[in-house]
């Protein structure tokens, strides 16, 4: 089941964040919260460019979802925790 849900829309740098998507659908650089663990996932531009390393593939029995919290993959941890908490995301970093 691959579906995207959206929390309260927030606009930052012209892109909606607070959107929950399957992990394998991440196509934009930014900062995401792993909904299954609460860990912070930083996705730099190089991490999603076609043909570039590193390419991360996580395989499991159930779909894994992430919630985008920022367009900036290098957001400070304090701000990332605050944004994630405001979106009612589990934080474990």
For 26-78, write each residue's pLDDT tens digit: 888 999 999 999 999 999 988 888 877 667 778 888 889 999 999 999 999 99
The whole-angstrom separation of Cα 56 and Cα 47 is 8
Residue at 21 is within a domain: yes
Residue at 61 is within a domain: yes
The whole-angstrom separation of Cα 18 and Cα 31 is 10
**What's residue 11's pLDDT?**
43
**What's residue 58's pLDDT?**
80
Phi, psi of 39 (to 5 degrees): -75, 155
**What's residue 74's pLDDT?**
96
Residue 17 bridge partners (DSSP):
10
Residue at 92 is within a domain: no
pTM of this structure: 0.77
Residue at 68 is within a domain: yes
Number of domains forming the structure of the chain: 1
- For 16, the domain range is 5-86
Q: CA of 38: how far to CAs of 22, 49, 52, 58, 65, in Å?
A: 15, 25, 26, 16, 11
Residue 67 bridge partners (DSSP):
20, 33
Residue at 93 is within a domain: no
Residue at 91 is within a domain: no
CA 44, 50, 52, 57 torsion-angle sign: positive
């Amino acid at each position: 089941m691959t579906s995207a849900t959206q929390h309260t829309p927030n606009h930052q740098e012209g892109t909606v964040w607070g959107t929950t998507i399957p992990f394998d659908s991440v196509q934009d650089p930014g900062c995401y919260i792993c909904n299954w663990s609460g860990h912070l996932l930083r996705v730099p531009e190089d991490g999603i460019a076609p043909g570039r390393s590193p390419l991360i593939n996580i395989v499991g029995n159930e779909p894994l979802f992430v919630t985008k919290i920022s367009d900036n993959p290098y957001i400070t941890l304090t701000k990332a925790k605050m944004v994630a908490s405001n979106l009612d995301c589990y934080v474990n970093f």
